[in-house]
Amino acid sequence: MRLDVGLLEFLQRPLMCILAAADSAKRPSAGRGIGFQVLDDRETIDVIFSAWQWPRLESSLRQTGRLAVTFVSPSDYVTFQIKGPAAMRDTAAHDLDRAGRFIADATDELRSLGVPPSIIEPWLTRRDPKVARLTVSEVYIQTPGPQAGMSAGASAR
Amino acid sequence: MSLRLSDLAPCFEGVIPSIIATAAADGTPNISYLSHVVRVDEEHVALSNQFFAKTAANIRANPQVTLILVDCFTGDQFLLDIRFVRSVEHGPLFDKISLQLRASSAQVGMAEVMRLRSADIFRVHGIEPVLSPVEPAPAPARRRTISLPDLAEAGRAIERKIETEEIIDSLLGGVAHLLGHRNALVLARDVHRGCFTTTGSIGYERSGLGSEVAGEDGLIGAAAASGLTVKVSDMSRVRRFGEAIDADAMASEDATRTIAFPELPLAMSQIAVPMKIRDEVIGILFVESLERMAFGEEDQAALEILAGQAARALKESERAANSASGAIPAAGRTAAGGRDVHVVHHRLDDSIFVDGAYIVKGIAGALLRLMLDWHLSEGRSEFSNRELRLALAPRMPEVKDNLETRLLLLRRRLEEKQAPIQIRRTGRGRLRIEAQGSPTLAAAQE
């Protein structure tokens, strides 16, 4: 499934990112993303998270190989969830840079909305960064409102 | 578990969104933000079922759920392992969640989008703190705890008061001195006009006495309709319709016969506490603050105690004034002279203008018209509450329960407008009208 242009544009905005995986007992785990990158094929997304902060995420992912990622634009609550099979890949230096930019942008955005930086700091860390490579198979609108839950933002090949 | 739900109070303020992770029957994960988590007791939380169909379906197929909660003071995060127990669609717990949701969605400007259909109850199986990359912030300057003896004394101070005016002032004084909140209003229910009218006010540039709030909108409307306390803890993202203070407020008062509601443009927290006698809401105590999260659980509890005390005292005050001596004061020409004071009464809404300036409407307006009428026809300036009550009751039956608050509103509006007619209390259940000149009373041509 390829992400459409509208969704690609949305993903350029300052965003917050949360992710979930479930272990083999179907127990869900949750955490926050600290960066991501849409690959050129437009159907793969690398999502970075701190395994130090969210250890259960990585073990769940390794057990079941499925991931859900939700991106929200804090200024207007526009929200999309992307799901699909995922696998851990090795972390590279550019992932750390990307995470640094993502954290800075998200912090600025939230600060501009009146959230004090001291409150945001505990949420986003680059400690022990890990990367999950997600193959997009489902995209849903999650913006609160009548369209919530509807499929969107991607076209089947 | 070492951490208890009651340790996480700042996570339940609805200020920073929580996160909910679920998994479908086939194990597919799902993650979304959650508008509100409510602590039910030490072992259960309730989630407003505002989240999306997928989350709701997952919970029913696989009751294991993971939550991330965030402390709104420190940003600290907590992972909760919870299991779905049941859903509620009505009843006190549902009402509580529904109301909190309404307030919290009002604070993000989405009150219309979020409407609670049902609430889901979960048992909490584990709470663990999420590692934080920053040193724990020095304990934030949380407000001092409220001393129970001081609260009891504030309650007794209200209880000791006999007059409506003193009770309301004592309640507002308690809010200011005991809790340190500087901006507060007391609104009295006006059954006749179907609204709540500002009868006492502290801390505002314009007192707003006589301003009215109708309907179920806003915190005051929601608290009045539900009989429950409603609060907003972070207004930073609420669209501020009222920021531009109307410089012509006084001029528009005369044109619209409407008094502008007092405003604290930079308020970050607001709370509306119903003043109840059993299930009857007789008024609203409204408090606001420039601080985020100004009204924690303790503040709310203290405000509810004081508001309840004041409600009972007000009821008792009405009852006592009702049974005070009903002797109609003797007639006697009062010395009148000087210029004419023009009083105009509008029959449609009982609004009263003195020398062209709008004073008040409704029962309070009808009371002034009545006193002036007697003053001019019988030549007396003293009146008893009892005769006013008897005279108005056929047309406005609810006057028997709230004459005192209406008289207070009338007196205070006349004072505030520095009108050439004033009403003074001369004793228990007795009043005198004082005019700087010779009053005339005319019916307005509607």
CATH number, domain of B351, equals 1.10.10.10
Instruction: Select from B19, B28, B114 the Cβ nearest to the Cβ of A83.
Output: B28
- Residue B29: closest C-alpha in chain A: A21
| Exposure string for B364-401, b = 16+ CB within 10 A, e = fewer | bbbbbbbbbebbeeeebbbbbbbbbbebbeeebebbeb
> pTM value?
0.71
Residue B260 Cα distances to B189, B245, B268, angstroms? 17, 10, 20
**Per-position DSSP letters for B113-142, written without gaps between them:** T-----EEEEEEEEEEEPP-SSPPPP---P
| Residue at a domain's end among B99, B129, B159 | B129
With a cut of 90, say whether residue B324 has pLDDT above it: no
Q: Is B378 among the domain residues?
A: yes
Domain shared by B37 and B152, yes or no: no
Same domain, B95 and B44: yes
Residue B244 pLDDT grade (very low, low, confident, very high; cuts 50, 70, 90): very low
Region of B168 on the Ramachandran plot (φ > 0 left; ψ -120 to 50 alpha; else beta): alpha
Give the separation between CA B32 and CA B39, rounded to whole angstroms: 19
Who among A70, A119, A123 is closest to B32 (CB)? A70
Q: Do A28 and B29 touch (CB under 8 A)?
A: yes
Residue B331 lies in a domain: no
Indicate if B402 and B352 belong to the same structural domain: yes
**Residue range A61-92, pLDDT digits in tens:** 999 999 999 999 988 888 999 999 999 999 99
Out of A22, A31, A52, whose CB is closest to B23?
A: A22
Number of domains in chain B: 3
Confidence of residue A30 (pLDDT cuts 50, 70, 90): very high
What's the pLDDT at B248? 54
Q: Domain spans of chain A?
A: 2-151
pLDDT at residue A153, rounded to an integer: 61
Q: Which CATH number fits the domain that encloses residue B63? A: 2.30.110.10
Average pLDDT, integer, range B398-421: 90
Q: How confident is the model at residue B376 (pLDDT cuts 50, 70, 90)?
A: very high
Structural domain that includes position B119: 5-129
Same domain assignment for residues B185 and B229: yes
Q: What is the pLDDT of residues B78-88, one digit of tens each?
A: 999 999 999 98
Whether the complex's predicted ipTM surpasses the cut of 0.85: yes
Residue that finishes a domain, picked among B100, B129, B158 = B129
Please give the structure tokens belonging to residue B192.
């006749």
Asked whether residue B152 falls in the same domain as residue B125, the answer is: no
Within this chain, do residues B263 and B312 fall inside the same structural domain, yes or no? yes
pLDDT of B406 over the 50 cut: yes
Confidence of residue B291 (pLDDT cuts 50, 70, 90): confident
| Residues A107-157 pLDDT 10s | 999 988 878 888 899 999 999 999 999 999 999 988 776 666 777 766 544
- Name the band, by pLDDT with cuts 50, 70 and 90, for residue B428: confident
Do B294 and B389 have their domain in common? no
> Do B289 and B416 sit in the same domain of this protein?
no
Would you say residue B138 lies in a domain?
A: no
- Which pLDDT score is estimated for B221? 85
Contacts from B395-399 at CB under 8 Å and sequence distance 24+?
Answer: B395/B366, B396/B192, B396/B363, B396/B366, B398/B191, B398/B192, B398/B363, B399/B192, B399/B363
Domain assignment present for residue B166? The answer is yes
Are B293 and B269 in contact, with CB atoms under 8 Å apart? yes
Q: In terms of domains, do B296 and B367 share one?
A: no
Is the separation of the CB atoms in B228 and B275 below 8 Å? no
Do B280 and B220 sit in the same domain of this protein? yes
- Using the 3D structure, point to which of B295, B323, B351 is the last residue of a domain: B323
Residue B137 lies in a domain: no
State the pLDDT at residue B373: 94
Residue B135 lies in a domain: no
Judge whether A142 is closer than 8 Å to chain B, CB to CB: yes
Rounded Cα–Cα distance for residues B299 and A157 (Å): 58
Same domain flag for B393 and B291: no
Average pLDDT over residues B193-205: 91
Give A-chain residues touching B128 at CB under 8 angstroms: none
Whether B283 and B156 map to the same domain: the answer is yes
Q: Nearest-CA distance from B284 to chain A in Å?
A: 30
* Cβ contact, residue pair B237, A70, below 8 Å: no
Determine the residue of chain A that is closest to B51 in CA distance. Answer: A144
Q: What is the CATH number of domain A2-151?
A: 2.30.110.10
Residues B315-329 have a mean pLDDT of: 75
